[in-house]
Structure 1
Amino acid sequence: MFFGGGGRGFPFGMDDDDEGGFPGMGGMGGMGGPRGPPKEVDNKKLYEVLGVEKDATPDQIKKAYRKLAIKAHPDKGGDPEKFKEIQAAYEVLFDREKREIYDKHGMEGLKGGGGGPGGMDDIFSMFMGGGRGGPRQKQKMRVKPIARKVEITLADVYNGKTVEVEVERQRICSTCEGVGGTDASAVQTCSGCKGRGMRTIMRQMGPGMYSQSTGPCDECNGQGEMIDMEKRCKTCKGKKVKKDKKKISVEIDKGAPNGEQYTIHGEGDCVPDVEPGDVIVVVQVKPNKIFQRKGADLLIEKEITLLEALTGADFTIMHLDGRIVRVQCEQGQVIKPNTIMTCEGQGLPFHKTPYKFGNLFINFTVKFPEEVNPTQIKQVQSILQSQAKSDKETSDINSVETKFVLQ
C-alpha cells in the first residue's frame, strides 16, 4: 500500500528538495514534524567591515581596503585585531569564487573551505567565533627578518654590554603611507591578471598539443595593480616603501653564550598590509689571549719555574672585570706538570642567573732549566739525597749504561 507523497511515489512525503535524507531523524520526512522556514543568510558583515555596498566592484573593494588598512596597520599604531578583520574581509570579497559563496551562503558557506594556515576556517573563526574544533589563531604573515652579527669580547660577556647595531631596511613611505600614489584612486587593479599578480599562459606545442605555464604578470610585474603615473608618489616612485637606516641598541646579557640571538620585533623591513619584519642580532664572542671559555668556566695556562713548582707558587691574575686575583700555593706542595688548580667562583656569570659564577681552572706547566752546573748538581743532590739513594738502590739490578739525547 502506497501513500500519496512528494511527486516521486515515495512514502512519508519526501519532496524534491530532500537530498536522500530524512528531516527530523537524519532526514526522514513525516517523522520529525513540519520543517521550519529557511534560515536567513547573513552575508552583510564583510561588506560592512570594508564599508562598501554589496554591488561594489573589485576596484571599489580594493580602494576601500587600502584606505582602511593604512589606518588600522599596526606599524601606524592601529588596532591589530581590526587590521586582521579588514584583511580577512578583503580576502573573501576580492576573490570572485569566495565572494559568490559568501553572497549565497554567508560565513557558513566558507566553513571548511581550507583547513591550512590562513584558510577559510580561520576567517570563519574570526567572524563566527569558531571553526571546526573551536577558535584558532590566524597565522600572521610577516616579512623575513634581517640578521646582523655583532662581535664582543670575553670581558663584555663577563660585565655585560649595550651595543649599537646599524640596520639598513625598507619602511613604509611616510609621504603616501604605503599607497604608492597621492591617494587610493591612483592605484588600479591590473586588467591583465585581475589583481592576482600571476598569469597562466597556454602555448601550442603541436596539433592538438598545448602546454600551460604560470608566472608573474608582465603588465604589473607581479604586483596585481597599476599606479597612475600622474598620481604616483614622488618620494617612493610608486614603490610604497623607501630605504631607511636606524641604529638599534641591544643589551647583551652577562654570561651570554657565543651565538646568542636577540630579536628586536618590528624594526626590520616593511611591506604594505603585512606585519613588519624583525631584526635578529647574533652575538659572536672573540677569542681571548689569556682565558679560554667553556660555558661559565674559564681556563688559563700558567707557566712556573722548577723552583716555584718545588717551593710553592705565588702570582696574580688580571681578571676580566679589572680585579687583581692573587693565587698562592701552599709551601711544600709540589706542583707537577699539567696539575690543574680550581679557583671556585672565579669564572663567568651564568647566563640568566648572573649572581652565580663558574670556576676558574689553572693548568700549570713547569719550565725546567736548560742545564745544571756541577755546583748546582751537588746542591740538589744534598737536598734530595735520601730520595736519590732510594732510587739508586732499585736501579742497580741489571743496570745498562744508556746515553739519552733530548730532541
Structure 2
Amino acid sequence: MLQRRKKEFQYHANKYNVHMYDFRLILYVWVLSIIGILVINSAADGFAVKQLMGFIGGSVVMIFFSLIDYNYIAKFEWFLYSINIGMLIAVKLLGINVNGATRWFSLGPFGTFQPSELSKVIMLIIFAHLISEQKEKINSLTTIIKIGILYVIPMLLVALEPDLSTTLVFAFLFCTMMFVGGLSYKIIGIILGISVPLAGLLIWYIQQPGQILLHGYQLQRILTFLNPSDYLLTTYHQQYNSIMAIGSGMLTGKGLNNNTITSVKGGNFISEPQTDFIFAVVGEELGFIGSCVVLGLLLLIILECLHIAKDARDMKGRLIASGTAGILIFQTFVNVSVATGMLPNTGLPLPFVSYGLSSLLSNYICIGLVLNVGLQRNRR
C-alpha cells in the first residue's frame, strides 16, 4: 500500500507544468506578510520575531503543499475528517481556557495552537472532494442534507468552544463551495427567502430577557453594535478608539514605531492591537495610502486565487481555490469592518497581517494548495 501511494505521489509530481507555478501569488503573499511583521513589531513588543519564524515556517509549508497533488491528499478524506473531529473534541476537553473560551492547546515555550484554524484547511480539502464527487446530484435534497450534516458536526464543535467568529467562517466557506459546486439559483433563492426573515427574528429574540442562544459576552457585543452610544465608555471603547486611530493617520500616517502618547501603542487605547485590531495600527501608522496598499495586496491575492479557480482542471481544484478566496474575503471584510465600526466586535485576524501563528500557518497551507491547483491547470 505504501509503495503504491509513493509511486502515485511521484507520478503526479513529475507531471506538473512548472511554467504554471504562480510566482506572482507568492510575491503578493510574501510582501503582505513582511508588511504584517513590520506593523506587528510597531504594535506591540515581543511578537514580531515569532511572526517572522511563522513566516519562514509557513513559506516552507506552502512550497511543500504546492508540490503535493491535491487529489492525492483528498483520497484520505475520512482519515482527515476523523483527525479533525478528534482534534476539536480534544481541545474542548484538554485545551486551555482563556476568557471563558477553550480554543487553544498550550505548546509551552512555543506558545499556543488553535485547532479550529487547521480545521478550516481540512474542511476545505474534505468538502471540495465530497462536493466534486456529488456534483451531478448537488441539487438533490438527499445530497444537500448528507453533505450538510457532515459539515455541521465539526462546525458545532467549534461553536461550542465557543468561537462564533470562526463558526461564521465555516458557514461562509460552506456557502461558497456549494455555490461554486453548482447549487441552483432556485435553491439559493429559497434559502435566502427563509434565512433573511429568520435573521430579523433572531436579532429581535436575542434582545429579549432570558435568551439562550448567545453567551453573555456575545450578546453584549451585538447590543453594543446596535446601540454604540450607550456603551461608549465600556464595550464600545475599543472600536471607537480604533476608528479614531485610523482617522488620525490621515494620508501618509504617523510612521512605524512611533510611540507618542496619542497613538494606539503609546496610549494603550486598544488591548492586543497586534491581533484583531491590527488594521487600526495600519491606518494610524501607514495612513490611507498604507491601508490601500494592504487591502490592495489582499485583493490581488484573492483575484489570483479566483483566476486559478477559473482555469482549474477539475471541480475539486476549482473548489479549493475558490474556497481559499472565500476564506480570505470573509476574514478581510470582517476584520476591517470591526476595526472601522461597521460590524460588532469579533475576533477574526486580518490574513497574513495579524499576529497569530495558527492562522498564518493555515493561510499558507491554503495558498500552497491553490498553487498546486495552478500547477495542474493544463493537465487534462
More helix by share: 2
- The TM-score, its normalising length taken from structure 2, stands at 0.23
Bigger CA radius of gyration: 1
Give the alignment's TM-score, normalised by structure 1. Answer: 0.22
Structure in which a larger fraction of residues adopt strand: 1
* RCO higher in structure (CA 8 A, sep ≥6): 2
